[in-house]
Amino acid sequence: MLSIENLSKRFGSVSEHPLFQAVSLRLAPGESVAIMGESGVGKSTLLNCLAGLEPVDGGRIRLRDTELTALNEDDFARLRRRDFGFVFQSFHLLPHLTLAQNVALPLWLLDLDDRTAGERARAMLERVGLGARADDWPRHLSGGEMQRVAIARALVHEPALVLCDEPTGNLDPERATGVLELLFETIHSAGAIGLLVTHSPTAATHADRVLRLTRDGLVAA
């Protein structure tokens, strides 16, 4: 269970109007939501706040029984390791690691040994349809394939929450659909909470619910 209450964030001085405020949201495991909004409204910032990569100015975030906004930086990092998965618009695969190693990265951070991590990463790659290319390098992949690897990386450690920031922003429409189908299917079958941020209405339809981010909170789209 993820619950966000009255979250607000501002850049710069207190006198300025916050980027957003009064953001509230409750999500149960297995549920997914798409958050839309024009560019610059603060969607990425909201995700960063949820992940503890950006400090918040007010409000509370709870994941299961943990009050995230009360965690210090290191504890948050440890929590991210276990409970968070990320999919970025620009993939962020490490060019000098093979696909299997890229997918194994979250497992390495959880101190799994090389072999176990490798096996789980290969199984995950199999699920996203890239099992045969586990030892290939990212630079040999198309954009859609890279994003599949990123999805495998986001879910390999069975996180409670998967945050996706414009995962199809760099892909053409056909590939985008394939990637989104895969993404939501894996999130649902893992019983994780999915949070998708996008400015594309087509992308948003894949989620259970669609919301719109405004300066004064989330509204139904």
Ligand X SMILES: Nc1ncnc2c1ncn2[C@@H]1O[C@H](COP(=O)(O)OP(=O)(O)O)[C@@H](O)[C@H]1O
Instruction: State the residues that interact with other proteins by CB under 8 A.
Output: 48, 51, 53-54, 73-74, 77-82, 84, 86, 88, 90, 92, 94-97, 101, 104-109, 111-114, 117, 139
Contacted by 40, from Mg ion, ligand X, other proteins, none: CB < 5 to 8 Å by type? ligand X
Does 44 bind Mg ion (CB under 5 A)? Our answer is yes
Contacted by 41, from other proteins, ligand X, Mg ion, none: CB < 5 to 8 Å by type? ligand X
Contact 178, 10 (CB under 8 A): no
According to DSSP, the residues that pair with 26 across neighbouring strands are: 3
Contacted by 101, from ligand X, Mg ion, other proteins, none: CB < 5 to 8 Å by type? other proteins
Binding mask 36-75 for ligand X (x = CB under 6 A): -x-xxxxxxx------------------------------
Angle at CA of residue 8, ends 198 and 217, nearest 5°: 55
Closest among 42, 138, 128, 146 to 97, alpha carbons compared:
138
Residues 6+ apart with CB under 8 A from 153: 85, 93, 102, 103, 105, 106, 124
Contact 16, 10 (CB under 8 A): yes
Report the nearest approach of ligand X to the CB of residue 50 (Å): 12
Does 23 bind ligand X (CB under 6 A)? Our answer is no
Burial of 28 (0-12, 13-18, 19+ CB in 10 A): exposed
Does 11 bind ligand X (CB under 6 A)? Our answer is yes
Q: Which is nearer to other proteins, 101 or 186 (CB)?
A: 101
Closest among 86, 87, 79 to 63, alpha carbons compared:
79
Q: Which is nearer to other proteins, 73 or 174 (CB)?
A: 73
Report the nearest approach of ligand X to the CB of residue 20 (Å): 9
